Amino acid sequence: MERAAHPGDPTIAELGESAVLGRILPRLAPGDAALLGAGDDAAVVAAADGRFVVTTDLLVHGPDFRLAWSTPFDLGWKAAATNLTDVAAMGARPTALVVAIAVPPTMPVTVLEGIADGLREGLAALAPGAGVVGGDLSASTVLTIAVTAFGDLEGRAPVLRSGAVPGDVVAHAGARGDAARGLALLFDAGTDAAGEPDPVRAADVRAQYPRLVGAQLAPQPPVSAGVAAARAGATAMLDVSDGLARDARRIAEASGVDLDFVGAALGPDLRVALAGAEDHGLLATFPAGASVPEPFEVVGSVVAGTGGVLVDGRPVGSDGWDPYSGWDGRAG
């Protein structure tokens, strides 16, 4: 059970780095691949395949999350989820995370404990056997979480974005637009007297729409589907984090083809399904006639082209999330 911070809880500055780490590390598990976990200058992680997949991602207070909406547990869970799907999109099994956190010294240590709990439980639910093997702790005026994730290809070739060919089917696993709908609900909840997101209203919205708001704050992507897709012969794959249309174009451009979606297969709200970001589903292409594994759903086909995205044969734009040109100051 997650515990909220209380006024009497010690701050990070009051405890100091060593004591803080002494409270955080016991909350984390190193995972099955760790030969040497946290405690030395670096960890040692098994790479039985002789190769490893590696990726990294940042969560920054403001553009990526708001403490008025997210609990510390949510932040840890989301930090795990957003990296695990990048590993899964290569067809690899996640094995280990390294987590660096920069945090204001005045923040209660219970915030870091909650993040650690979210990381642990997120890994247990989404990638059993994976664990946190180390990281870093620093001071900052802005809470920032940086995660590096590792994965094991288990002897398979990595699934790239560049392998789609005309005649392949296009399939998607995971939610389409739920996180964007949840984010819109949080913004619609309004602000407090200082113009900041109102945590009380946000909590009410989450209680009323737990699935949609939960999809934004603590997503549950189909991580295990990445390995299933690779075993089924996926020709291309990626994590859908910036919006289905924007990310589909990345496969189309890398492969030198067009991806043509069937509008009816994407759901009743086509605009949100195409442009809504942060669902962290998986988009993959498979050879015609291949057995597409669950939970993938066939939503289109690969056709000859030069890097475009179509819906029912008609070109569509690349609306979605861009941390620079697409950022209007709203967290997502």
Annotated binding site: 41, 55-57, 64, 86, 135-136, 161, 239, 241-242, 278, 321
Rounded to the nearest 10 degrees, the angle between the axes of helix 109-126 and helix 72-88 is 40
Backbone angles phi, psi at 321, to 5 degrees: -90, 130
What DSSP string runs through 61-76? Answer: BTTTB-TTT--HHHHH
Structure tokens at 312: 């029912």
What's the one-letter identity of residue 34?
A
Binding site feature residues for Mg(2+): 41, 55-57, 86, 136, 239, 242
Look at the block and give the residue holding tokens 């100051």: 329
Report residue 224 as tokens.
């295990």
Whether the link from the prior residue into 295 is cis, omega within 30° of 0, is: yes
CA 182 to chain centroid, in Å, comes to 15
Give, in order, the Cα–Cα distances in Å from 302 to each of 164, 231, 240, 293.
Answer: 7, 20, 17, 18
**Residues in the annotated binding site for ATP:** 135-136, 161, 241
Bridge partners (DSSP) listed for residue 108: 11
Give me the residues paired with residue 194 across strands.
none
